């Protein structure tokens, strides 16, 4: 279990707090989505939960980050990496730069942790399969497209076999097919007991994978609840966060005077046709 207890964080040299009294618990197999407008503190939350802030970034942290109930402040970053993995938005800077092939890139994390070679190979194969990037395994990661690099970066995180996975806008550069692969991987990991914190602008993805969603506003938790409740909360729309397409469709239909049953029927028909396709 990954727990943030009343965490406040200020970047080095900054005059104001980027996170204010944020409390959050990620239970085993739970997927928690994070939404909010720009500079709401979403990426900072990821950095603090992963341990990179303040360990690597400096700055001032108040409150506690607990791993399975134990204060994590005394753990070095490489020790945190055994339990908590974090992926960022920009795929180019997540690649190691020392791997000649996608296979080696995916294996980079477990290699760093000194895990036995056979286990590194097993994890690498399994992560490559999970994101369906087998066709890229012998390619030079630096020469892939942004979307392909992002899938490789995420596969590299899966290979760490983390108990907690933090993803900061992982599908920003992905097309719908890539987004679906990430969504499936998240569901698979959560099914295996991995807890996941995911920041995303694509609220439809969050609606599909999250148990719970929190909305941040100026560094504070403004909304926290079940995903379907929070994502249809009108306050979220007022905070500048897009509604999921189903919610938006229902709202527009209602504003146009259509009966809720009509639009519900249309959505069911759309879901069936997508499943058949």
Partner 1 sequence: MLGGIIGPLILVLLAVIVPALLARVVRDLVRTSLLLTLPIALSALLVNVLFFPAEQQVLLRPGPITVTAEGLVFALEILVRIMAISGAITLFYLTTRPQDLVVDLERRGVSARVAFVANASVQTVPAMVERAQQIAAAQRARGLDTEGSFMRRARGILPIVGPVILGSIAEVEERTLALEARGFTRPGRRTMLWWPTDSGAQRAARWSLIAALIAVAGARIAGRLG
Which one of 3-11, 55-63, 67-75, 256-264 is the stretch in contact with partner 1 (CB under 8 A)? Answer: 55-63
The verdict on 141 binding partner 1 (CB under 8 A) reads no
Nearest-approach distance from CB 60 to partner 1, in angstroms: 18
Select from 23, 58, 97, 260 the one that contacts partner 1 (CB under 8 A): 97
- Shortest separation between residue 262's beta carbon and partner 1, angstroms: 48
> Closest separation between CB of residue 36 and partner 1, Å?
21
Which residues in the 57-96 window bind partner 1 by CB under 8 A? 57, 76-78, 81-82, 85-86, 88, 90, 92-96
Rule CB under 8 A: is residue 104 a binding residue for partner 1? yes
Instruction: CB nearer to partner 1: give 185 or 241.
Output: 185
Is residue 268 a contact residue for partner 1 (CB under 8 A)?
A: no
Pairing between β-strand 212-217 and β-strand 31-35 as defined by DSSP bridges:
parallel
Measured distance CA(139)–CA(136) in Å, rounded: 5
Among 116, 238, 256, 275, binds partner 1 (CB under 8 A): 116
Contact (CB, 8 A) for 36 and 215: yes
Determine the Cα–Cα distance for residues 177 and 86; give it in Å rounded to an integer. Answer: 22
Strand partners, 224: 214
107 binds partner 1 (CB under 8 A): yes
| Angstrom distance (rounded) from CA 58 to CA 180 | 36
192 binds partner 1 (CB under 8 A): no
Of the candidate residues 23, 60, 73, 112, the single one contacting partner 1 (CB under 8 A): 112
User: Could you count the other beta carbons within 10 Å of the beta carbon of residue 29?
Assistant: 14
**56 near partner 1, judged by CB under 8 A:** yes
- Residue listed under structure tokens 């709202």: 251
The set of residues, in sequence order, having a beta carbon less than 8 Å from that of 174 and lying 6+ positions away, is: 147, 150, 151, 181, 182
Contact between residue 220 and residue 49 where contact means Cβ atoms under 8 Å apart: no
Minimum Å gap between C-beta 277 and partner 1 is 37
Binding piece for partner 1, criterion CB under 8 A, among 47-55, 59-67, 190-198, 225-233? 47-55
Binding site for partner 1 (CB under 8 A): 47, 50, 52, 55-57, 76-78, 81-82, 85-86, 88, 90, 92-100, 104, 107-117, 120-121, 153, 156, 160
């Amino acid at each position: 279990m990954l727990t943030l207890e009343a965490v406040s964080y200020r970047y080095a040299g900054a005059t104001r707090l980027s996170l204010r009294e944020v409390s959050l618990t990620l239970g085993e197999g739970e997927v928690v989505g994070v939404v909010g407008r720009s500079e709401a503190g979403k990426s900072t939350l990821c950095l603090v939960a992963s341990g990179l802030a303040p360990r690597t970034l400096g700055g001032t942290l108040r409150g506690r980050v607990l791993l399975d109930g134990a204060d994590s402040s005394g753990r070095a970053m490489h020790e945190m990496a055994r339990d908590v993995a974090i992926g960022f938005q920009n795929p180019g800077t997540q690649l190691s730069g020392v791997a000649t092939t996608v296979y080696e890139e995916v294996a980079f994390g477990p290699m760093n942790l000194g895990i036995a070679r056979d286990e590194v190979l097993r994890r690498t194969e399994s992560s490559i399969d999970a994101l369906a990037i087998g066709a890229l395994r012998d390619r030079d990661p630096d020469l892939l497209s942004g979307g392909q690099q992002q899938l490789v970066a995420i596969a590299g995180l899966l290979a760490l076999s983390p108990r907690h996975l933090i993803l900061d806008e992982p599908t920003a550069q992905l097309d719908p097919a890539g987004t679906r692969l990430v969504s499936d991987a998240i569901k698979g990991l959560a099914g295996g007991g991995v807890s996941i914190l995911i920041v995303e602008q694509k609220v439809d993805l969050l609606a599909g994978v999250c148990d719970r969603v929190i909305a941040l506003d100026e560094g504070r938790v403004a909304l926290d609840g079940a995903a379907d409740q929070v994502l249809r909360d009108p306050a979220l729309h007022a905070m500048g966060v897009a509604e999921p397409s189903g919610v938006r469709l229902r709202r527009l239909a209602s504003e146009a005077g259509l009966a809720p049953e009509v639009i519900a029927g249309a959505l069911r028909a759309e879901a069936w046709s997508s499943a058949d396709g």
